[in-house]
Amino acid sequence: MEQRTAYWRVDPIKPDPRIMARAGLILRQGGLVAFPTETVYGLGANALDGLAVARIFEVKGRPQDNPLIVHVADRETACRLVCRVPAGAGKLMDAFWPGPLTLVLPAAPVVPRQVTAGLDSVGIRMPDHQVALALIAAAGVPVAAPSANLSGRPSPTTAGHVLQDLNGRIEVVLDAGPAGVGLESTVLDLTGDVPVILRPGGITREELEKVIGEVRADPGVDGRPGGEFRPRSPGMKYRHYAPRVPLVLVEGEPERVAARLKELAGIYRSRGLRVGVLATAETAGEYNGSRVVVAGPRQDPAAIASRLFAALRQLDELGVDVILAEGIEPRGLGLAVMNRLRRAAGNRIERV
C-alpha cells in the first residue's frame, strides 16, 4: 500500500530542532527525506547505509551507474569518507564550503558502492543551507542526496516540485521555501593531476581558478550531445532536465535569436501546435500568440539560473505542444544555464 509523504514546513534560517530531530531519525532508520539546499532540493538517505541508498535509485528511476553526492555538515566527516586528500582540496573547502561546490575525491572503503556506483571516487559537498546542515547534524551520519526529482525531469527548486515527482514514494519533504541558486553544484574532479570541472554549476570556473590556478573543463560541460566524448561524470550522459514536450533551443545574437524564434513559432502554429516560449526579459515582448514564460534578464544569468527549472515545469503545465527557448551567452553562470538548456533540448539546438 502506498503511504503519503509527510510535509513539514521549517524555517529556512532557524529550523525547529524537534522537527529536525524527527527527520534525522528517519534518515538514521533508513528512510528518505527530501530537503532544501542552496542549489536545489535534495533527496537524502544515510550515505553509510547501502540499502537506504539503493531506495533512492528505485524511487527516482535513476540509472544504476550514476553516483550520488554525499552531503556533510563538517570537514572531519568529509575527510573520513576520503582515503587521500589531494593538494588544493583544503583551499577549495576554505574558499567555497559551505557552498555549491562538489569535490570528487578518492573514496575510502567505508563509502558503500551504492553511493559511488562502483567508482573509486566519491563526490562530497557541504551545502550552504541551515536546514540541510541541521538535518545532517541531527542524522549524525553523512547524507547521500541527488536532486529530488524523477530521473530525467528538471531538478526541483521548491517542495511543491518534489511532491509533483515523488509524492507517496518518500517519507518526508521539508519545505523551507524556494532554493536560491536554482542550479546544482559545480562538480570538480580532484583525482587527477589537474582539477577538471565535470558539471558546471553554482561556482564558476573563473572563481575556482582564482583559488587553485589552472582548472580544465571536461568536454561535456557545454552540454552539447554526441561526439566521441565519453563523460567522466556518469550523470552527464543522460538526457536530463527535460520538460515533457520537445524543447527547441536557439542560440546566437539576441536579435537573431528572437527573429528565428518568432519564425519557428509561426511555423509550429500554422501546423496547429500550441507554442510555449522560454524568453529573456529583454525580448519577452516579441512573441505574440505564444505562451511566454520569462526566465529573467539576459544581463543577470544568476536570476535566470534561479528561475530556470521552475520555468521549465511551468511551461509543461501550460499544456503546450512544443517549447522554444532563447539561449544566453555561455559565460560565468551562463555556462551552467546553457549546459542545462542544451541537455533539455537534446539534439534540437539551432545556431543563428
Which residues of the chain form contacts with ligand TXA (CB under 6 A)?
Answer: 37, 39-40, 42, 66-69, 100, 102, 104, 116, 119, 121-123, 127, 145-147, 184-185, 187, 198-199, 233-236
For the bound state, the minimum distance from the C-beta of residue 147 to ligand TXA, rounded and expressed in Å, comes to: 4
Residue 252 · residue 330 · CB < 8 Å: no
Tell me which DSSP letter residue 155 carries. Answer: P
Contacted entry of ligand TXA, Mg ion, none for residue 123, CB cut-off 5 to 8 Å set by kind: ligand TXA
Cβ-based nearer residue to ligand TXA, 127 or 178: 127
For the bound state, the minimum distance from the C-beta of residue 106 to ligand TXA, rounded and expressed in Å, comes to: 10
CA distance 104 to 51: 23
Q: Collapsing DSSP states into helix, strand and coil, what is residue 297?
A: coil
Cβ-based nearer residue to ligand TXA, 219 or 234: 234
Q: How, if at all, do strands 247-251 and 216-217 pair?
A: unpaired
Residue 324 pairs in a beta bridge with: 248, 277
Contacted entry of Mg ion, ligand TXA, none for residue 234, CB cut-off 5 to 8 Å set by kind: ligand TXA
CA distance 213 to 334: 21
For the bound state, the minimum distance from the C-beta of residue 131 to ligand TXA, rounded and expressed in Å, comes to: 12
Cβ-based nearer residue to ligand TXA, 82 or 279: 82
The answer to whether the bond into 297 is cis (omega within 30° of 0) is no
Residue nearest to ligand TXA (CB): 235
Tell me which DSSP letter residue 212 carries. Answer: H
Contacted entry of ligand TXA, Mg ion, none for residue 39, CB cut-off 5 to 8 Å set by kind: ligand TXA
CA distance 325 to 312: 10
66 is in an annotated binding site: yes
151 is in an annotated binding site: no
CA atoms within 13 A on the CB side of 262: 12
Residue 166 · residue 148 · CB < 8 Å: yes
Alpha carbon dihedral 312, 314, 318, 321, in 10-degree steps, equals 10
> Residue 337 is which amino acid?
V
- Measuring CA to CA, which residue among 44, 243, 40, 60 is closest to residue 158? 40
Contacted entry of ligand TXA, Mg ion, none for residue 158, CB cut-off 5 to 8 Å set by kind: none
Interface contacts to Mg ion, rule CB under 5 A: 147
- Measuring CA to CA, which residue among 140, 139, 160, 164 is closest to residue 150? 164
- Measuring CA to CA, which residue among 56, 55, 96, 58 is closest to residue 75? 96
Cβ-based nearer residue to ligand TXA, 46 or 102: 102
21 is in an annotated binding site: no
For the bound state, the minimum distance from the C-beta of residue 42 to ligand TXA, rounded and expressed in Å, comes to: 3
155 is in an annotated binding site: yes
Cβ-based nearer residue to ligand TXA, 104 or 261: 104
For the bound state, the minimum distance from the C-beta of residue 233 to ligand TXA, rounded and expressed in Å, comes to: 4
Cβ-based nearer residue to ligand TXA, 71 or 262: 71
Residue 56 · residue 68 · CB < 8 Å: yes
7 is in an annotated binding site: no
* Crossing angle for the helix pair 301-317 and 333-345, to the nearest 10 degrees: 20
For the bound state, the minimum distance from the C-beta of residue 155 to Mg ion, rounded and expressed in Å, comes to: 5
For the bound state, the minimum distance from the C-beta of residue 330 to ligand TXA, rounded and expressed in Å, comes to: 18
Cβ-based nearer residue to ligand TXA, 72 or 261: 72
Binding-site entries: 39, 62, 66, 71, 125, 145, 147, 155, 185, 199, 241
Binding-site entries for ATP: 62, 66, 147, 155, 199, 241
Binding-site entries for L-threonine: 39, 71, 125, 145, 185
